[in-house]
Chains A and B, each alone.
Chain A
Amino acid sequence: MSGNSAVGEAAVLAGCTAYFGYPITPQNELTEHMAKRIVEVPGGVFIQSESEIAAINMVLGASAAGARAMTSSSGPGISLKQEGISYLAADELPAVIVNMMRGGPGMGNISPAQSDYLQATRGGGHGDYRTIVLAPASVQEAADLVYVAFDLADTYRNPVVILGDGMLGQMMEPVTFTTAAPRKEYPKEYVLSGASGRPSRMIRSLLFDTKEEEEHNWKLFRKYQLMEHNEVRYETFLLDDADMAVLAYGIAARIAKGAIKRLRQEGLKVGLIRPITLWPFPMKIIQETAKQLGDFFVFEMSTGQMIEDVKLALEGKGHIHFYGRPGGVIPTPVELSRIIARHCYQSQRSKKR
C-alpha cells in the first residue's frame, strides 16, 4: 500500500469521519482514498474543497461539531492552511493535518524533501502556538502514527501535524492495520450541537481584553509544556557504543540507518537518534548522549533546519557535523556513508592531535 493510502485508511480506522482536501502532488492518493473510503463510514463526510484555505476551515467547522477531522496537503498548500491551523490552536480544537513535503520554496518541485521542518515545528501560522509534529519513517509507521495523532489531538485539543514527504507518500510497503482498539472517550464539552438542555457555548479566539488574551496564551503555553513533558518520542539505533551519533528523521533516517550498517562493517562506531516527534523535540536523549560522545552528525533533506534544534539541545557542547540535500534530491545510503566516514576519520585525526 502507498504511504498516502495507508495514512487515509488508518485515519478511517481511527474514527476520522470528516476529510476535506484539495489536490496537490505528491499527496493526491490520500485525498482519493478518502473520497472512496470515508463515505462508507456512517456519517462520513468528504469534500473536495475549492481551496486549501476552505479545506482547513471546513476541518475547523467539523471539529467544532465534534467529528474527528483531517486534511492533507504538501508544502504550498500547507502554507495556505496556516491561517486555519492557527485558529484551530487558538480555539483549542483537535484536528490532524498531513504534510507530504516536497522541494521548495515557492512552487519548488514535487520530489521528496524535508523543507518544512521549521514551519511545522514552530507553529507555522501567526501567533504564539505549537502543534505536535510526528515524523514517520515507513509506511507502517505512518499508519501507526495516524492513530497516535488523533488521540493526541483529542487529548490536548490541539492540531497535530504528520510530517512525511513525497517519498513516504508515494512508496508502497507492506502495512498491517491494528484493528481499532476500543477508543478512549474524550470529553467533548466544547462541541457545538445546539444549546439544548444546557447553556449556549461559544468557540472563539477573539479576546479584545489584553489581560484575557494574555491568560489564554499562558494557558496554551502550559498545555504545550505538558506535551513537552509527556509526548516526546524517538528511536535509537546502535547508540550504546557509538563514537558518533547521526541525527535524522523520517525518510532521511532510513537512509541514515542503511549508511550506519555499512559504516559498522567498516568498523566505525556510528549510532542513530531518530526523533519521531519533531515537536516536542527529543532534547533529553541528545543531552544524555552528549555525555557519552562528542560528535553529532545531522543529516537532513534540506539546507539545515532540524540542526537548529540539535544546537539548542546541545547548548554549545559537542561538535556538530552536517550534511544536507535540499531541492528534492535523495542521497543514497552509500553516498551518505562515505560522507559520514570522512567526518568520522577527520574527527578521529583531530582528536589524536
Chain B
Amino acid sequence: MKTVYCRPKCMKEAHFHYCPGCGHGVITRLIAEVVDEMELRDKTICVAPAGCGMLLYNYFDIDTIESAHGRGAAVATGIKRVRPENLVFSYQGDGDLAAIGTAEGFHAANRGELISVIFVNNGVYGMTGGQMAPTTMLEQVTTTSPAGRDSVLQGHPVKICEVYATLDGTSYLERVAVNKPAAIIKTKKAIAKAFRHQQQKTGFSLVEILSPCPTNWKMSPLDSCRWVDDVMTKVFPLGLIKETKKC
C-alpha cells in the first residue's frame, strides 16, 4: 500500500487549537510540508510571532524562537547574520508586520536580509478579539471600528507587498490565499519559492497569504472563504508582485 497523506515529519503529534475555518492551521501545515520536501528540517529556524500564529510552536518540531510583537524581522535578521547557513523564516500577522513591526519589516526588506517572511493577512487582530488591523477593509466592522472602517478616520488597508516591491532589497513577493484547494496548492508553491530565493541568496522574500478568520469576521467558515474572493482580493489582488530572478 502506498501512503499518500500523513503528518509531516517536522510537525509534533499535537492537535491544532485554531478556530474552525481558520487559515493558520493550513498555513502551518503547508510550511511543514515544504520544509519536509526540501529536506530542510535540520537547517530551519522559525521565528514565531505574537498573535494567533504564536501557537505554531506547539506544532512545529523545528528550532523555534518567539519574538516580541512586531520584531520578527529583526530577530530573524540577528539569527541569519550569525548563522548564514541556516534557513530562517519569520511567521507574522498583519498587526505584527503592518502596524507595530512596520519599521523592522520594512528595513529588513530594504537591507535585502536573506530571510523569508510568511505574512498572514486576515484583516483583523485575531488573538486579542477582532480589533481593526492596518489591513482591515474599508467599511469592515470590527470591535474597534464598530461603524465600519472609515478611511477619513482610520486610513486605508495597507498593501505590504506593493510597498515592499519598491524596495531594491526584495527579490520575491507574492500574494496568495488559502480559501480553496487550488489557492492552497499555489500557496505551498509560493512558500517553497520563497525558501529557494533565500537559499540562492537573491534577497528578501515574502509570501502574503490572505487567510480567513471566521470567528472575528462573524461569518461561517464557508462564507469566510467566499469573502476572501469577493472582497479581500479586490483590495489585495492575488499573484506574483515581484520576482527579480527565477528560482
Q: Which residues of A contact B (CB under 8 A)?
A: 17-18, 20, 43, 45, 47, 49-51, 53-55, 57-67, 69, 83-84, 87, 91, 192-197, 199-206
Q: Would you mind naming 30 contact pairs between A and B with Cβ atoms under 8 Å apart?
A: A43-B82, A47-B111, A49-B74, A49-B107, A51-B103, A54-B74, A57-B75, A60-B65, A60-B71, A61-B74, A61-B75, A61-B78, A61-B80, A61-B82, A63-B78, A65-B78, A69-B82, A83-B68, A84-B71, A87-B68, A91-B65, A192-B63, A193-B45, A194-B41, A200-B64, A202-B57, A203-B64, A204-B48, A204-B64, A206-B66
Are A57 and B67 touching (Cβ within 8 A)? yes
A17-B82, A64-B78 given; A196·B42 CB < 8 A? yes
- Of B44, B47, B54, B111, which is within 8 A of A206 by CB? B54
Using CB atoms and an 8 Å cutoff, list the residues of chain B in contact with chain A.
10, 41-45, 47-48, 50, 54, 57, 60-68, 71, 74-83, 86-87, 103-104, 106-107, 111
How far apart are the CA atoms of A69 and B54 in the complex, in Å?
A: 25
- A204 contacts which of B42, B57, B76, B80 (Cβ < 8 Å)? B57
Distance in Å: Cβ of A110 to nearest Cβ of chain B: 24
Taking a contact as CB atoms closer than 8 A, the residue among B43, B63, B80 that contacts A201 in the complex is B63
A193 cross-chain contacts in B, Cβ below 8 A: 45, 63, 83, 86
A100 to chain B, nearest CB (A): 22
Do A58 and B43 have beta carbons less than 8 Å apart? no
**B62 contacts A200, CB within 8 Å?**
yes
Residues of B near A205 (CB, < 8 A) are 66
Q: Which 5 A-B pairs have the closest CB atoms?
A: A61-B78, A196-B42, A57-B74, A58-B78, A50-B107
The smallest C-beta distance from A128 to any residue of chain B, in angstroms, reads 17
Residues on B with C-beta less than 8 A from A47 are: 77, 81, 111
Closest Cβ neighbor of B65 among chain A residues: A203
Residues of A contacting B86 with CB < 8 Å? 65, 193-194
> In the assembled complex, how far is the CB of residue B170 from the closest CB belonging to chain A, in whole angstroms?
16
B71 CB, nearest partner CB in chain A, Å: 4
In the complex, chain B residues whose CB is within 8 Å of the CB of A84: 68, 71
A residues less than 8 Å from B87 (CB atoms): 194
A63 to B62, CA, bound (A): 18
Could you tell me if A54 and B63 are in contact, using CB atoms closer than 8 angstroms? no
Q: How far is the CB of A213 from chain B (nearest CB, A)?
A: 14
Smallest CB–CB gap between B213 and chain A, Å? 20
Q: How far is the CB of A203 from chain B (nearest CB, A)?
A: 4
The listed residue with most A CB atoms (<10 A of its CB), out of B60, B64, B71, B78, is B78
Q: Can you name the residue of chain B whose Cβ is closest to the Cβ of A68?
A: B82
A194 lies within 8 A of B57 (CB)? no
CB nearest neighbor in A for B40: A194
User: How far apart are the CA atoms of A47 and B81 in the complex, in Å?
Assistant: 9
Which B residues are CB-close (under 8 A) to A51? 103-104
Q: Which residue of B lies closest to A60 (CB)?
A: B75
B74 & A58 in contact (Cβ 8 Å cutoff): yes
Residues of B within 8 A of A66 (CB): 82-83
Chain B hits for A203, CB < 8 A: 64-66
Q: Which chain A residue has the least Cβ–Cβ distance from B107? A: A50
Q: Which residues of A contact B76 (CB under 8 A)?
A: 61
B residues in contact with A67, CB < 8 Å: 82
Inter-chain pairs besides A60-B65, A192-B65, A202-B57, 15 sampled, C-beta below 8 Å:
A18-B82, A47-B77, A51-B103, A51-B104, A60-B67, A61-B82, A62-B81, A65-B78, A69-B82, A194-B42, A194-B86, A200-B63, A200-B64, A203-B66, A206-B54
Residue contact B54 to A192, C-beta cutoff 8 Å: no
Point out the residues of chain A lying under 8 angstroms from B78, CB to CB: 18, 20, 57-65, 69
Residue of B nearest to A58 (CB): B78
Nearest neighbor of B83 in chain A, beta-carbon distance: A65
Chain B residue numbers with a CB within 8 Å of A59 are 78
Chain B residue numbers with a CB within 8 Å of A20 are 78
Cα–Cα distance between A20 and B75 once the two chains are bound (Å): 11
Query: Is B82 in contact with A45, judged by CB distance below 8 angstroms?
Result: yes
Q: Which of A17, A55, A91, A200 has the largest number of chain B CB atoms within 10 A? A: A200
Of B65, B68, B86, most A-chain CB atoms within 10 Å: B65
For the complex, what is the distance from the CA of A201 to the CA of B44, rounded to whole Å? 11
From B43, B50, B65, B103, A54 is in contact (CB under 8 Å) with B103
> Measured between alpha carbons, how far is A54 from B57 in the docked complex, in Å?
23
Chain B hits for A87, CB < 8 A: 68
List B contacts of A53 (CB < 8 A): 71, 74, 103-104
Q: A20-B78, A206-B54 are in contact. Are A50 and B104 (CB under 8 A)?
A: yes
Looking at the assembled complex, report how far the CB atom of B190 sits from the nearest CB atom of chain A, in whole angstroms: 23
Collect the chain A residues with CB atoms within 8 Å of residue B61's CB: 195, 199-200
Contact across chains for A200 and B60 when beta carbons are under 8 A apart? yes
Residue of A nearest to B66 (CB): A204
User: A18 to B81, Cβ gap below 8 A?
Assistant: yes
Q: How far is the CA of A83 from the CA of B104 in the complex (A)?
A: 14
